[in-house]
Each structure stands twice: as structure tokens, then as C-alpha cells.
Amino acid sequence: MYDWATGGFGVYVHWPFCQSKCPYCDFNSHVASAINQDDWCKAYLSEIDRYADEVGGRTLQTIYFGGGTPSLMNPDLVFSIIEKIRSRWNTINDLEVTLEANPGSVEAARFKDFNHAGVNRVSIGVQALDDNALQRLGRLHSKKDALRALDIAKSTFGRVSFDLIYARQDQSLADWRDELTEALTLAGDHLSLYQLTVEDGTAFAERAARGGLRGLPPEDLAADMYELTQDLCGSAGLPAYEVSNHAKPGEESRHNMIYWRAGDYVGIGPGAHGRLTKPNGRFATESSRAPTDWLTSVSKIESGESLRSQLSEAEMALEYLLMSLRISEGLDIHRYHAMAEKPLDKTVVANLIDLNLVLHTEDRLIVTQKGRLLLNGILRDLAPN
């Protein structure tokens, strides 16, 4: 039996709608002129019941509202979802309930309503503390909007995180130092700091193909920015606990840790993914991506799931390897061996240790800070052929 409980159990709820589509975004997000939130409420509650019938009897640790822009949801809808989840699963006393928000959709009264609905943690998509950069990223909010949103959030919720994107067009190392230094004065207990990547299928990718996305930093400058990020955040008491995530000890995103520790999670909503372990195996689930298709299928008392596949032991082991080496606690060697039914290649591990890319303790394999810059290569080397 797969050891999912070591990783934990959570529920992810996907709200697929945004006010506009950001040019760098490859998430399943859509712009709609009208949304009947009552219809969406019925669909979400129906899917919660279906999954609870399937994997009930567990203790739930986290709920995460992602998107899209979940702060565009009616607080009553968020309340109904949380109440339904609580009615179908036992929950830990300090259940973590996170909601993603964009600064442009933040109002003090609305945040208070989300808090009353049961949300106790917010993650705000600030992305930049520079108005020109925000415009180039296609964001609708200003720096002033972002600062106001952070003030409201910190006065409303016990736990607040926000995102920034760096290695942007025409950004120098000094620019990023100044911006991150300011961000750290604003930060609560958690920061997510992502290097800008040009993903296939995005407006940025199309622009880059036409030669229109100029000024992106070369690899060596991006690496310097990453190193600077580690140094500044570490000195400020927010060390990296994952490649792109920084937190005060004990304030890590528990929901995301379920992913990285290869736990089980229910994925509800258009395009949502899940991992479910049952007596007959571990399954990857994926919901219909198109919002209308998902809503229609659920309203017809059908599953919104478009794909369910059973994972082999080798696939489970590989997934755990790929996810766990992203976090500072690393890979549990004994757990991996139990999944893979064979040890990691000793020669490969020894070579990575000699290069100071990984650390090997009695029961853990951990990627070093130097190794994180070369993580994809390390994973390729360690992955079974």
C-alpha cells in the first residue's frame, strides 16, 4: 500500500476565472463576461460529495482555493464550499485554508467576509513592486494597489504570503536587490519568488517567437539573481524551504507541502489535478479543462473528471523523487526505496556529493543551495533509466 499519509491530505478547489489573462500565465484561467456563481456552487458541492463518498474517513489538513483569481468568488460561495468540506471529512484543529487573491480585487470588507467564511491564509499575486514592470507583465493593478492589499490582508488574516516575479525584462541585479529588500520589509511569514519563464502557449511565448520579448536577462545574471534571493531572504529569517518559496520556520505552505511530500489531494474544478490512494492502487485524476464543459458535466450528475489513470510503482517513485528534492527536507531514502523497490544509483549519488550538489544523511538525500541552480540536471541523473 502506498504511504500517502506521510505526505498528508488536502483539497484543492480551482476557480478558473480572471479579470484578464496575463501574458506569462499558462494556468487554466479564463475571462468571462458573466458568471452564475449559484450554478458553480452546486457543482462544487456535488463534486465534494462525490469525492467524499470515495475517500471519506480521512483527516483533512488543508483547503486551497487557486485559480484563476479566487478572490473574485462570492464570499458566500467560499463559505458554502468550506462548510461542505468540513461536513464530509474530519479536519485537524488548525486546518489551513488558503485563498489566492489579486491586489486589484481586494477590498477590506471582502477580505473580512472571506475570513468569516473560514479562510485563514491568503496568497497575493503582487508580482512586482514597480508600475512599469507591472504593465509589462500585463497586470491590472499598480504598486499602490498592491501595498493597500497587503495592509488589508495583514490586518485581517493571521497568515499572509505574496508572490514576486524576477529576472524580468531589463531588470538589473541592483534593481532586484532594491525590490526584494523592499519586499522583505513588507513580508509577513511567507514569500514566493519566481524567475520569469516563457511557457509554451502563452502570449509571451508568441511574442518571443516574433522577437518581441527583448531584455530578458542571460542565464548568468538570472543565476546571480537567484543567489542574491537566497542570501537576502536567509538573512531576513525567511530561508528557502522549496526552490521558489521562502518562509519563517513553521510557516511553510502546508498545502503545497502535501504535493512535495507526495501526499493525497482531491482536485475539484476545471483542470484540477488530484492524487488518490485506494485499496486497489494510487490514481492520478484530472478534471475537464474548459469551464463550460466541467460545469455542464457536473450539472448532469456526471463526474467533472476527464481522466483517471492508475500509477505504477515506478511512476509513484519517480513522482516522489521529482517533488521531494525541491524542498529543503529532501527525499526520505527509505520511503523512496519502498516505492521503487530498488535503491538510488550509488555511483550517481556519490558523484553528486563530490560536486557538492547533494547532501546524504542517514535517511535523507537533500539538494544543496548550489545544486538547486542545477536541479533539472540532478533530477535527470537520479531518475531511473
Q: Is the pLDDT of residue 190 over 60?
A: yes
Options 1.10.10.920, 1.20.120.430, 1.10.10.10, 3.40.50.720; CATH of 313-385 = 1.10.10.920
Residue 21 has phi, psi (to 5 degrees) of: -95, 120
First to last CA, the chain: 24
pLDDT at position 214 over 60:
yes
**Angle, CA of 30, 25 and 307, to the nearest 5°:** 65
Average pLDDT over residues 138-153: 93
pLDDT score for 27: 64
* Strand (E) or helix (H) holding 39: helix 37-55
C-alpha cell of 85?
Answer: 468540506
> Given pLDDT bands bounded at 50, 70 and 90, which one contains residue 373?
very high
pLDDT of residue 205: 67
**Amino acid 213: pLDDT:** 75
The mean pLDDT of 225-241, rounded to a whole number, is 97
Which is more confident, 95 or 103? 95
pLDDT at 198 over 90: no
| Lowest-pLDDT choice from 47-51, 147-151, 196-200 | 196-200
- Give the residue-averaged pLDDT of 88-97: 97
Say yes or no to pLDDT of 301 above 90: no
Res 120 pLDDT > 90: yes
Whether omega for the bond prior to residue 68 falls within 30 degrees of 0, making it cis, is yes
Identify which has the larger pLDDT, 17 or 327.
327
Q: Side by side, which strands form the sheet with 281-287?
A: 240-242, 245-247, 190-195, 159-166, 121-127, 90-101, 59-67, 9-15, 264-268, 273-278, 281-287, 305-310
C-alpha 339 chain-centroid distance: 25
Q: How far apart are CA 35 and CA 20, in angstroms?
A: 14
Residue 121 has pLDDT above 60, yes or no: yes
pLDDT by residue (tens digit) across 47-83? 999 999 999 999 999 999 999 899 999 999 999 999 9
Is the dihedral angle over the CA atoms 302, 303, 305, 308 positive or is it negative? negative
Q: Please compute the mean of the pLDDT values over residues 295-309 and round it to a whole number.
A: 87
pLDDT value at residue 105: 65
pLDDT at 362 over 70: yes
The least confident of 75-89, 237-251, 297-311 is 297-311
Going 170 to 175 to 177 to 182, the CA torsion angle's sign is negative
Question: Do the Cβ atoms of 121 and 97 come closer than 8 Å?
Answer: yes
* Res 19: pLDDT: 78
Q: What is the spatial distance between Cα 251 and Cα 239, in angstroms, rounded to a whole number?
A: 11
**β-strand 121-127 against 90-101: which pairing, if any?**
parallel
Band (pLDDT 50/70/90 cuts) for residue 8 is very high
Residues 271/276/282/286 CA torsion (nearest 10 deg): -10
Q: How many CB atoms lie within 10 A of CB 133?
A: 21
The residues near 370 (Cβ < 8 Å, ≥ 6 apart) are 356, 357
What share of the chain has pLDDT > 90, as a percent? 79
pLDDT of residue 18: 83
Partners of 364 in beta bridges: 332
Confidence (pLDDT) at 340: 92
Q: 119 or 20, which is more confident?
A: 119
The pLDDT, as a whole number, for residue 197 is: 84
Q: For the residues of 58-126, what is the DSSP string, one character each?
A: PEEEEEEEEES-GGGS-HHHHHHHHHHHHHHSEEEEEEEEEEEE-GGG--HHHHHHHHHHT--EEEEEE
Q: Specify the pLDDT at position 249.
A: 96
Provide the residue ranges of all domains of the chain, joining segments of one domain with +. 9-258, 313-385
> Phi/psi zone of residue 237: left (φ > 0), alpha (ψ -120 to 50 degrees), beta?
left
Class of 9-258 per CATH? Answer: alpha beta
Q: CB within 8 A of 58, min separation 6: which ones? A: 9, 89, 90, 264
- Per DSSP, the residues of 304-330 read SEEEEEEPPHHHHHHHHHHHHTTBTT-
**Is the pLDDT assigned to residue 25 strictly greater than 80?**
no
Q: What percent of the chain has pLDDT over 70?
A: 95
**What value does the mean pLDDT take over residues 157-172?**
96
pLDDT exceeds 90 at position 109: no
**C-alpha cell recorded at residue 112:** 473580512
pLDDT for 226 equals: 97
